[in-house]
């Protein structure tokens, strides 16, 4: 049970107890229509309170989490309360004060709005007749009884329908809030997945652009070593393989555009030196040390890497 429901039921407990004491005091202060009438009225008041405390109280509340009673339980509670109230009004009209508790409990213990409306209307008719019985069914007694019960019934219907509308709106609001929370969670998951896919695609491009150039150089050097078996060629193969490993590790770690490079110019000069060692060609690198965005540095470095790669492929075809 939520704290809100417990606090709401505590308020009902206080109001019901205050009403019990007020009606009991009123019963003791009015003249008896017959011997023992006061005791009967007090017993009726206590009976209504006991029905509330041990039966209807479990269904008090307009917030989500309060369950509806079973059909048999709902019928027994409502019949019990209306019967006691009817007997009380037939003995003493001032017992209509108990409607303050009974009418709201009719709505609380109903399984639907239609049931609450019908039972409230029936209660008004029965109480009007009970008032007429007290007045020997005279015209004045009947008119007074039906006016009093009619006003109470009209007020109960208006207040009950209004509170029911508020409760339904609250339940709908909770449902929409749950749907919104679920949609936000789904959107967050989709965003994470999209980011992961984009990052994998970027990493795949970087691996292809970097590792492909290194592997092309290694293949070319291996063919050269197979022809002449020179230690220099083997040393170059080892050096190229080590640099490819460093580049792969740098890509996985998502470091700078070029491993062990402080700027784009350093990375380009390093690339040119390696190409010169592998091919024996003279490579001149002229690069500015201007600070560029990382994405721009990556694009420029990849373009420079593609040039030696294409050149190496052409030399490989020429050697064959």
Q: What is the pLDDT of residue 87?
A: 94
How high is the pLDDT of residue 65? 65
In the block, tokens 């609250």 appear at: 170
Q: What pLDDT does 195 receive?
A: 82
**Domain segments of the chain as ranges:** 3-137, 203-319
Give pLDDT, residue 80: 94
**pLDDT value for 166:** 81
Q: How big is the chain by its Cα radius of gyration, in Å?
A: 45
pLDDT at 124 over 90: yes
pLDDT in tens, 137-154: 999 999 999 999 999 999
Per-residue confidence (pLDDT) for residue 278, from 0 to 100: 63
Residue 319 pLDDT grade (very low, low, confident, very high; cuts 50, 70, 90): very low
When comparing pLDDT for 135 and 312, which is higher?
Answer: 135
Residue bearing tokens 């109280």: 57
Looking at residue 270, what is its pLDDT? 74
């Amino acid at each position: 049970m939520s704290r809100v429901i417990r606090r709401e039921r505590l308020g009902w407990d206080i109001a019901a107890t205050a009403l019990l004491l007020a009606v009991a005091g009123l019963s003791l202060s009015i003249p008896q229509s017959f011997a023992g009438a006061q005791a009967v009225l007090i017993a009726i008041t206590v009976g209504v309170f006991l029905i509330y405390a041990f039966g209807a109280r479990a269904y008090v509340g307009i917030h989500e989490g309060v369950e509806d009673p079973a059909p048999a339980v709902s019928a027994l509670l409502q019949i019990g309360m209306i019967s006691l109230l009817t007997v009380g009004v037939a003995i003493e009209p001032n017992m209509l004060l108990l409607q303050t508790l009974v009418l709201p409990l009719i709505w609380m213990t109903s399984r639907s709005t239609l049931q609450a409306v019908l039972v409230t209307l029936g209660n008004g008719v029965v109480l009007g007749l009970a008032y007429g019985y007290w007045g020997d069914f005279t015209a004045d007694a009947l008119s007074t009884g039906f006016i009093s019960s009619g006003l109470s019934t009209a007020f109960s219907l208006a207040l009950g329908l209004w509170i029911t509308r508020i409760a339904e709106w609250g339940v709908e609001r909770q449902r929409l809030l749950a749907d919104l929370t679920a949609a936000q969670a789904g959107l967050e998951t989709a965003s994470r997945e999209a980011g992961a896919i984009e990052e994998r695609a970027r990493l795949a491009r970087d691996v292809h652009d970097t590792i492909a150039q290194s592997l092309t150089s290694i293949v070319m050097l291996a063919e050269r070593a197979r022809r002449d078996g020179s230690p220099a060629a083997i040393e170059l193969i080892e050096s190229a393989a080590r640099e490819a490993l460093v580049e792969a590790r740098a890509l996985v770690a998502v470091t700078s555009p070029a491993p062990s490079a402080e700027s784009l110019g350093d990375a380009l000069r390093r690339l040119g030196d390696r190409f010169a060692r592998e091919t024996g060609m003279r490579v001149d690198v002229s690069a500015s040390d201007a600070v560029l965005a990382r994405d721009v540095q990556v694009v420029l470095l990849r373009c420079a890497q593609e040039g030696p790669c294409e050149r190496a492929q052409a030399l490989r075809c020429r050697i064959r």
